[in-house]
Amino acid sequence: MLIWSSKVCLGWTAVVTMGLAGPAVGAERTGASASEVPPHPLVAAAETLYQRGMPQACDELLKLAYVATGLTDDDLVRVQFLAAMRELDEQNQLGARRALSQALQLDRAAAPPPSSSDRLRALLDEVRAQLPPGPPAKSKEARQAAAMKAANAREPAPRVLLRAVDTLYVSLQIEGAGIVLGLAFSSTPLTAADRTHLVLRRGILAMESNENEARTAFREALGADPKAVLPDYTPPKTRGVFEEVKIAVSTLPPPSPPRPANNSQTWGLAAGGGGAALAVGGAVAGALALSAYEAEKKASASGDYDGYLRNRDAARAAVITANGLYGAGVVALGVGAFLFLNAPGDVKVWTGAGKGTVSLTVGGSFR
């Protein structure tokens, strides 16, 4: 029975931003020259794990890479260099020589990775000098054709890396599984089904350290595919949390259908703005009415009959206008609020004011 780690540092989110992720696992699979064909996803992932200081996880992916389909000669050379570095790490110089010899048999001009040690470079020079004469190197055109044929035989990167995540998880290389999961998320072509499988793995890995994150991932996966299932190796505790989330998701009410698009909210804002403008106009008219009324009282006290009549009529007209503007403003504000909050349909609002009169017209269709 497997013992599941309770302390883990999931590194997949950091890998998404690494420069290696894009060119390594996300390039086109057809129509490229040998120099443009990206490394096999497993080769790139193994190199990433080695660079991140995870030799055991790297060894697991090397095992998968040895039997993978779609490896180019360049991929095989890179695999042998990586194997040689691992042999040197284990103080096995004979194994390192063997790996370097196999790399040079594929390409006598093969150069070691930039990050390789001086010890490996020196050993490579020794092995190269001891190689017997071999057949002439393939032409550039032949290498291009072979690389394109091999790349076209590859499985999609997300599926290859998904199996790598499963292998690492089962072998208890949890942190390495998280890093490869990050590479898988950034690989192409990523279908909706691929993403659902990857999100499920995110939840499985998250269960090692954060159950809430795991529940969030399971909820996302089940929202995308209610029939999603966990892989067989999933621990009982993780499977139990997944089933709880599945029940909770299945009992949620269906989402409300979206409202049909309309411009009622826009007209609601327009009506509200018009109502505010009318209210301001009412305040101005009210101030004019008060001023005319004061002038009317002064004309009456001084015996200015003509001034009295003129200011009396002006005050009455201003009062009517103020009342009308206030009333229309209140109505327009109410209509605007209704339209904005309820968005009933295509509605148009017109407001107007004349000598002693104000108007508010609402027209359109309500649903």
Tokens read off for 24: 């390594």
What is the residue whose two structure tokens read 């190269």?
Answer: 128
Question: Is the model's pLDDT at 46 over the cut of 50?
Answer: yes
- Pick from 176-190, 315-329, 342-356: least confident: 342-356
Question: Is the model's pLDDT at 9 over the cut of 50?
Answer: no
pLDDT at 144: 87
Question: Is the model's pLDDT at 15 over the cut of 80?
Answer: no
How far is the C-alpha of 49 from the C-alpha of 12, rounded, in Å?
11
**Three-state helix/strand/coil letters over the chain:** CCCCCCCCCCCHHHHCCCCCHHHHHCCCCCCCCCCCCCCCHHHHHHHHHHHCCCHHHHHHHHHHHHCCCCCCHHHHHHHHHHHHHHHHHCCCHHHHHHHHHHHHHHCCCCCCCCCCCHHHHHHHHHHHHHCCCCCCCCCHHHHHHHHHHHHHCCCCHHHHHHHHHHHHHHCCCHHHHHHHHHHHHCCCCCCHHHHHHHHHHHHHHHCCCCHHHHHHHHHHHHHHCCCCCCCCCCCHHHHHHHHHHHHHHHCCCCCCCCCCCCCHHHHHHHHHHHHHHHHHHHHHHHHHHHHHHHHHHHHHHHCCHHHHHHHHHHHHHHHHHHHHHHHHHHHHHHHHHHHHHHCCCCEEEEEEEECCEEEEEEEECCC
Per-residue pLDDT, averaged over 267-292, amounts to 66
Q: Omega into 189 within 30° of 0, i.e. cis?
A: yes
More confident residue, 356 or 78: 78
Q: What is the band of 241 on the pLDDT scale with cuts at 50, 70, 90?
A: very high
pLDDT at 20: 36
More confident residue, 298 or 117: 117
pLDDT at 139: 80
Question: Is the model's pLDDT at 70 over the cut of 60?
Answer: yes
pLDDT at 23: 38
Task: Output the pTM of the full model.
Answer: 0.61
pLDDT at 296: 66
pLDDT at 6: 37
What integer best gives the mean pLDDT of the chain?
A: 79
pLDDT at 53: 95
Question: Is the model's pLDDT at 222 over the cut of 90?
Answer: yes
- Pick from 108-122, 161-175, 199-213, 298-312: least confident: 298-312
